[in-house]
Each structure stands twice: as structure tokens, then as C-alpha cells.
Amino acid sequence: MEIRSLTRAEAEIMKILWKLQKAFVKEILAQMPDPKPAYNTVATFIKILEKKNIVSHITYGSTHQYFPLITEEEYKRHEVEQLMGNYFENSAANLVSFFFNDKKLNANELDEIMEFVKKNNLGQK
């Protein structure tokens, strides 16, 4: 299944759905920060997410309970692959280099990265 990128509003709704695992529009709306969008706005975004095959629903009478068709991890993987392909020539080294050079990582962040590499044996060939 091809995963399509989400807009900021769609991603906000998906984060809530991933957390709740399944929800009615009113439950999604209740989790959104103030000022809350209109009910119909959230319902419209959910319909768009269904067209993108990222969300589906179960019908209960005249209402729908929505649930994600992909996991948050699958979506994150897709977005990182898109980012690397579009901006870093599919090179993890180019991506990491960008963060080292452009984002001016502090010592704690560098230590965390090194600890992750050691812990996951990523430094071994």
C-alpha cells in the first residue's frame, strides 16, 4: 500500500487516532487543543484521510467510528524515506551531516546519538 504524506491538520488528527486507536469524530474533537475546529471540519479531514487509505471506519447506525489503517511507525518511516529521497540523495550520512552542521547539536544531543549508535551496534560493519 502506498502511503501519502499528510497535511499538518491531517497529521494532528492521525496523532489523536493513533493514541486512541479508534474514535468517533466527537472523541477526536475532544482531544484537540483550543480553539477547537468545527465538528464538520474534523469530519471533512477524516473523509480525506479515508480517501488516502490511511483511515477506515465501522458504522454504528448513523455514526462512524474511525481507526487507522497504518501505524504511526509506518508513517514515520515513510516520511523519513521521503525526506531522504527528496533532500539528501537517499543518504543517511547526508541527513546526519545536515543536523550536525546546520542545527548545531549540543553536547547532550551528541551524547544521546552516540549512545544510540553504541546500544544498537550501528558502529560495527
Q: Are residues 62 and 14 in the same domain?
A: yes
More confident residue, 51 or 108: 51
Model pLDDT for residues 16-42, shown as the tens digit of each residue: 999 999 999 999 999 999 999 999 999
d(CA 72, CA 68): 9
Q: What residues have CB less than 8 Å from 61, skipping those under 6 apart?
A: none
Q: What pLDDT sits at residue 125?
A: 44
Please check whether residues 63 and 14 belong to one and the same domain: yes
- 108: domain range? 88-125
Band of residue 102 on the pLDDT scale cut at 50, 70, 90: low
pLDDT at 94: 83
Question: Tell me, what's the pLDDT at 70?
Answer: 96
Number of domains in the chain: 2
Same domain, yes or no: 25 and 59: yes
